[in-house]
């Protein structure tokens, strides 16, 4: 098994409660990768492409995983996903849609745009911990990211 514990996880989420609970779920599952939080779509793209507040960042240091909420301020999650998939620098980063919505159009649209997976945030926190565990196991531990 190959791990990439030093690589960051980009969490794109505007709800502070969800940010806190997601971080907690990762810790509960012993997934210790640093979690970078972007609170809107624009901030997420700045991080990925080294713009704005993140202009000093080395963009070749790509995150191991992007957890992307769809309902976001400034730039919608679907648009963020589209731009990630359009840019060569970010095209291969695994993106998991992390949302409360079960609406079909989100699933269909995000898969069409190249989302790797879709996880619905359950209300039961224990269920959520379980989901994050599965997520981490697969995308961070099992699924080796392609070489840069």
Partner 1 sequence: MVVVQMAVIVSEGLDEVRIRRTARFSAWAAAVIGLIVLAMQLAGVFGERPSGMKANAALAAVLIAGALLSAERRKGLSRLLAVVALAVTILTLVENLAAVDLGIDELLVADPTRVIEPGRMAAETAIVFALLSVGALLTSEIPVGRYLATAMMAVTLFVILAYLFGALNVRRAGAEVRMAPETALASFLLSVALLLQRAGPAWTRLLFSDSPAGRLVRRFISAAVGVAFLIGWIRIRGEASGLLDLESGITVSVTANLLILVALVLWWGQRLERDHQSLIERDAALMASDERFRLASMATNDAIYDWDLLHGIRTWNGVMGQRYGYPIVDAGRTGAEWLERVHPEDRERVARGWAAALEGDDQVWRCEYRTIRADGGIDDILERTFIMRNAAGSAIRAIGALTELTAIRQAEAILRNANVELERRVAERTEELRQKTDRLASMNAELEAFSYSVSHDLRAPLRSIDGFSQALIEDNEAQLDDAGRSHLRRIRAATQKMAELIDGLLELSRVSRTALQHVEVDLTAIAEQTIERLREQNPARQVDVSIGPSIVVQGDPRLLRIVMENLLENAWKFTSKREAACIEVGRRSMETTTEVFVRDNGAGFDPQYASNLFGAFQRLHPVSEFPGTGIGLATVQRIITRHGGTLRAEASPGRGATFAFTMGETS
Using CB under 8 A, list all residues that contact partner 1.
15, 17-18, 20-21, 24, 71, 99-104, 121-126, 128
Nearest-angstrom CA–CA distance, 11 and 2:
22
Please tell me the number of Cα atoms within 13 Å of 63 on its side-chain side. 25
Query: Angle at the Cα of 47 (from 37 to 100), degrees rounded to 5?
Result: 40
Tell me the closest approach of the beta carbon of residue 117 to partner 1, in angstroms.
19
Helix (H, G, I), strand (E, B) or coil at 131: helix
Closer CB to partner 1, 71 or 82, in the complex: 71
Tell me the closest approach of the beta carbon of residue 32 to partner 1, in angstroms.
18
Closer CB to partner 1, 127 or 144, in the complex: 127
Tell me the closest approach of the beta carbon of residue 123 to partner 1, in angstroms.
4
């Amino acid at each position: 098994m190959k791990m990439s514990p030093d690589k960051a996880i980009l969490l794109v989420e505007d709800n502070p409660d969800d940010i806190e609970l997601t971080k907690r779920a990762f810790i509960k599952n012993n997934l210790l990768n640093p979690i970078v939080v972007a609170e809107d779509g624009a901030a997420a793209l700045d991080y990925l492409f080294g713009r704005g507040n993140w202009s000093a960042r080395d963009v070749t240091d790509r995150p191991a995983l992007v957890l992307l909420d769809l309902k976001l301020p400034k730039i919608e999650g679907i648009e963020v996903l589209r731009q990630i998939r359009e840019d060569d620098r970010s095209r291969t980063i695994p993106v998991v849609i992390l949302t409360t919505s079960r609406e079909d159009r989100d699933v269909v649209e995000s898969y069409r745009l190249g989302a790797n997976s879709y996880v619905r945030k359950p209300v039961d926190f224990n269920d959520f911990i379980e989901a994050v565990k599965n997520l981490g196991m697969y995308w961070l531990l099992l699924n080796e990211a392609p070489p840069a």
